[in-house]
A and B are shown apart, each in its own frame.
Chain A
Amino acid sequence: MDDIAIELRGIDKSFGLVHANKNINLRVRKGTIHGIIGENGAGKSTLMSILYGFYQADSGEILVNGKSVAIRDPNTAISVGIGMVHQHFMLVENFTVLENVMLGAEDNQILNKGIAKARRELKRLEQEYALEVNPDALIEELPVGLQQRVEILKALYRKADILILDEPTGVLTPAEADHLFRILDQLKAQGKTIILITHKLREIMAITDEVSVMRRGEMVATRTTRETSVEELAELMVGRRVLLRVEKGESRPGDVKLAVQGLTVKDSRGVTMVDGVSFEVRAGEIVGIAGVAGNGQSELLEAIAGIRKPTAGTVLLNGRPADVAGHADPAELRSRGLAHVPEDRHHVGLVLKFEESENAILGYHRDPRYSNGVFLNIDAIRRDAEEKIGKYDIRPPNARLKTANFSGGNQQKIVLAREMERDPDVLIIGQPTRGVDVGAIEFIHKRIIEMRDQGKAVLLVSVELDEIRSLSDRILVMFAGRIVGERSPEATEGELGLLMAGVEGRKEAAE
């Protein structure tokens, strides 16, 4: 069969006790866009890392264009025409586009010839695939969408016929994502084969020709996209029926619990990240902040939580200023009823090297239940952790296991259990379901709605527009550090997307 670009036969890979890929068989037809979907930890990334030569399979065979090849490292993968666009870009920030593209393919110790060749080649690729980028622009000055384009150009420059894209839309605005899809279509039209790894069902439906579903290291199904549905794919991914829409009743907003007034935050370089932001969150409502990552949401959350010092403005918690004499203390804010689920659970919300029970008290370790001031009450801490493990269905149910060994979804549940079980007045949540599997997303969304219904004031920040729309009672859109508009959750994606891109906002502000 010569129309198969990639065939995997019986790929098997274990890391210690973790069986990441179990006897995987996959066929990707030439000139198609093939989606690979699955929950976090289902083994998608491992499989692609094997295909790209980062890992070696323990057993199994890889056929490229019908020929069996041993892919020992990324260089072999490139030489057989496989290119990869990583989730986290592999670009040198202070190099130009041209320098990045030719990095590792310079041809010679003296760069002159290579540069001339690269420039010609870039021009050709630009024309052929409508991939415009200024070759002399510095990477750090390019928006994320263009940086991604450089990654694609890098792969094409190395004569890739088969492109692997790992979660490519995670950092893009809806408009940028659409643009990416157009590029992918263009590439397909030119005969390239594309493998798209994602956990977003909508993208699969929008762009792929075929889709393969992975679950717990196994390839459970391959479908023709036109003949399947979001519901079926979700069910295949999780292994049971999933509720995709969040069910929630009317909100009954009460008193103002959290008020932010003219908050301005500068980062360490003195760049204004949050610019005079004001809003209120009432008891019993969820206020969502939508926006493309990097528009000040992270800094806003940190400032409210007392981790980052604002340069101007105030935060009122239950009507009282959150900072005393310019000093906000996260520990004191916690005791006053503020719970914070941080965006980055790996570096902020958890200490990955701690055992689960130790993380279950992070930030609350001064509580008399857990310590008498000097010694920790290990028994109480573990008992408490086990209780939460049961209540939040954290798996594996082992309070003494190292946190790094839990899956993303379960790690997030550890954080949520810790913050929600304190019965706070105000709950601020950043990226509640980033890197979390579909099954856990459903659970987490339900818990957030429950918190609202119990009369908590919830502030939600997420880059997943769907999540913001389905959970929030009111949506604020942030762009370039400002709140550029407020919408109801019924607002269309297009409308929010324009605000997020700063197009509508500027008009609105001008009016």
Chain B
Amino acid sequence: MSTPYAKLPGWVEYGLIPLVNLAVAFLVAGLVVLLVGENPFEAAYHLINGAFGRGEYIGFTLYYATTFIFTGLAVAVAFHAGLFNIGGEGQAYVGGIGVALACLWLDQVMPWYVVFPLAILGSAFFGAIWAFLPGWLQARRGSHIVITTIMFNFIASSLMVYLLTRVLKPLGSMAPQTRTFAEGGQLPKLDWLLSIFGLNVGTAPFNISFLLALAAAFAVWVLIWRTRLGYEMRTMGHSPSAARYAGIRESRIVVITMMISGGLAGMMALNPIMGEQFRMQLDFVQGAGFVGIAVALMGRSHPGGIIPAAILFGVLYQGGAEIAFEMPSISRDMIVIIQGLVILFAGALENMFRPPIARAFAMRGERAALVQTKGA
């Protein structure tokens, strides 16, 4: 028979449990720091200070967060339809082609606000194409999307090496990258946004694509919870048999969902290419596609959770770089360990602390009920 279902209050579900997970992750990370003979409190100080200490640091933190919002949303959209898109890395990489083409074509003749929308479309288009193929293969041939998207990451990587060494590289250059874009291919910084809070963005590449990421988060929320397509995606994600019963065509939903997911991943390319480097370089994605999986897990596939989760990973990236700089015995690999611990506790082990917390709340509720009955 049905197991009784204990529902936790929202602030516990979305606030307390993630916080406990995070606290444990940092505790274990602290032990690791202790193990290499460094002071964990000092490391924590550098982490926080490096991420928030100055306007410039905050700018960097939010720059990274922008990237992770896009890739996190990409993974989340697929999650809702029961699909595990591990190919965000490759989709973002290929999405860069769309950005680069728009910029290379128009950067010298048009202002950024003309180039930007085209670059958005281009990045989303190329990212969607790269996700369409695995989606189509799953819908038509039953090839598992986890396998195909991973393989497509490798194909994307080779494809981009080819393009950046043969096709998109300017003649005579030795570097595997496009030429640097002119003004039209450079996104304005959000210095004004930080200056509202009296902060100076400095050299941080915190740019307007952050606002695009926030808009995308809102759009994803609308898509999932307010549109018919989102309803069909969720139905399929929760229960494929119910979807079949409701006459929802699985293959159609798989393909469309993957394209939306890939499009979001592709839009990530705007941030580093148009916002920071002003050219497309080899390996500009730098693992952001995989971080997106952790962000989506931690944010429980809800845009409202993905944004803070993305900022947290922004903190880990920016603050982590600062630790490596300030405490030489903590290498970059140590930072990766700490990030890994966060992913482990917040993502993979997210349910570890749920039963004890749920039990504590059940007991509290009982006591409250007892008090009530006694009072009556």
Contact = CB atoms under 8 A, between A and B. Distances in A.
Interface stretch (B35-43, B195-203, B224-232): B224-232
Interface in A367-409: 371, 373-376, 378, 402, 404-405, 407-408
A33 interface: no
A130 to B, nearest CB: 31
A349 B358 CA distance: 29
Interface residues of B, number: 31
Given A376-B231, A405-B5, A340 B247 contact: no
Contact of B246 (A44, A45, A46, A362): A362
A334 B365 CA distance: 45
B245 A15 contact: no
Interface in A325-356: 329-334, 340, 342, 344, 347-354
Nearest to A378: B226
Contacts of B231: 358, 365, 371, 376
A349 B242 CA distance: 6
Given A16-B6, A40-B1, A347-B239, A331 B362 contact: no
Contact of B5 (A305, A366, A404): A404
Contacts of B358: 16
A363 interface: yes
Interface in B194-253: 222, 226-232, 234-235, 238-239, 241-242, 244-248
B245 A307 contact: yes
A15 B4 contact: yes
A1 interface: no
A365 B362 contact: no
- Chain B: interface secondary structure? helix
A509 interface: no
A305 B245 contact: yes
Nearest to B3: A15
Contacts of B241: 344, 347-348
Interface string B137-178: 000000000000000000000000000000000000000000
Contact of A376 (B2, B228, B247, B366): B228
Contacts, number: 109
A266 to B, nearest CB: 17
A41 B2 contact: yes
B7 interface: yes
Contacts of B365: 16-17
Interface in A310-331: 329-331
A18 interface: yes
Contacts of A41: 1-2
B84 interface: no
Given A15-B6, A332-B247, A351 B226 contact: no
Contacts of B4: 15-16, 18, 20, 46
A362 B235 contact: yes
B227 A375 contact: yes
Given A351-B235, A354-B234, A363 B362 contact: no
A369 B244 CA distance: 22
B26 interface: no
Given A305-B245, A347-B242, A365 B228 contact: yes
A333 B245 CA distance: 11
Contacts of A44: 1
B242 A15 contact: no
B361 interface: yes
B245 A16 contact: no
Given A16-B4, A46-B4, A405-B7, A351 B242 contact: yes
Contacts of A405: 5, 7
Interface string A147-168: 0000000000000000000000
B242 A331 contact: no
B362 A15 contact: yes
Count chain B CB atoms within 10 A of each CB in A17, A373, A408 and give the residue with the most.
A17
A330 B2 contact: no
B366 A362 contact: no
Contact of A330 (B6, B226, B246): B246
A128 B5 CA distance: 43
Given A330-B245, A374-B228, 5 more contacts: A15-B6, A307-B245, A347-B239, A350-B242, A352-B238
9 contacts: A16-B4, A17-B365, A44-B1, A87-B1, A331-B248, A352-B239, A354-B235, A371-B231, A404-B5
